[in-house]
Structure 1
């Protein structure tokens, strides 16, 4: 079954309340929600104000499930699916997208309340994804589970096992200088030799690298080996914007691990494939992606570098 995912809108509130009463476990009717102070108007207002960010899953235009969080506290408030859509990876995809949104807002600790009964489906679901019990119990008798700062959801057990002390984690402010260094080093070794003198002068005085890192840092994942940042990857939705490995650490599997990590997250977010771009002259990058199952799908003038390059569009279907 094919699903589409999108940010929730205020107009979704009515359908969200209806669906909440139709879940297999822990269902709440409209009246029960109202007794808790949750109404169509309050839900809609939370979405409109941005305090209640959420993602909706749809199949053929009909809502199949949703996930919402508290923007400020990092609490996952609700993850709900219609029974017919269970076991399809929809819940995992919804949670992954909401968690990613919270992380990009700078939220460290992400938490939620979950039944302490192992017979309840959610008990094992969240733990398999890496959330862990804190020992806290809320007023409803539910356990508080958390995903600590910097820890990623455990989305797949099939990722290749890193070697050479490699670990992949979310970038922090202290990584910004290392990421800028890697970008500059790959520019020097890959791009600069191909650029015109005018393009070199324009780029080196532009400050584009620093602005890019400042803008996207919270979304980046870095590869760290024995305390040294050796590469990073950055993606948004189903598009990989950047994957760079320090020239000193290329041909050691770093790029393959970063790519597999990004693909796992993109697939878990409900996308059926992934896209990226490089340039025709960059035969190393084209070969790398082709070895990992990507196909060249189109070509167009590269208007970023003003050096007569041709952009190669590449894609892979999961």
Structure 2
């Protein structure tokens, strides 16, 4: 059934059926629908999540999920990840079964924050990428949402904010040298058979390793080997940065105010360029299955049905004047 979106435009793609409203995207499941709705949140100033989240939504739709992608928008409806106060169609969070996010320093309005908190409190699983460790920044420390801020103080009840308390870590630092040293994944001891790693091989990311010490209890899946350069063939950097290596992917559960805990997968990889890596895409998809307590495929299909040419990560370099539908991978 066609979703009742205002000014909806129906497009027939090779992989999925899309309903593109003016301010968000909805992909209906391909093949056998599993009845689950995944909401993907884009909105970071550097790592081009406005490009990667539509691509990941299409892949998840190819795996039987209904998916919705939300954006940060200008008043004229064009995508602008620098609009930290904007989240389009936040009503989609009301029936989200899972959330995938790559956001940074957001400060949404009360309505959107309440919907996000409601989803958290009903136990919606979350897959959080890269800057989601510092997803929120409310400068007004008297705000009811100040505890979500990446730098929330202990008196807020959530020192380190949403990142530290829910995802397991907030912003710490660039452990690797930004735009110089890359990341190569190394499987943590005894995690080779963890279902979240089904079909996940070595990942090379052109983003650097973030500083991170995930809050207990967390299960570390992958460590990040700092490489000398951004070349996938680059050797490991010698010295203290790799001794010990820093966690780059972990799972945990968050005990919210409701009856069901949130299953959380966090990875500090996740630029749009990083997601050119098949194994990183599979890690994200596996995280959705695992979070929903569904059987994780041995090797989920994460092929991209079309041309995905992500922009290099950088501040103030997003594509200007585009609407959500312009980010569909065709």
TM-score by length of structure 1 reads 0.29
Larger Rg: 1
Structure with the larger RCO, 1 or 2 (CA within 8 Å, 6+ apart):
2
| Structure holding more strand per residue | 1
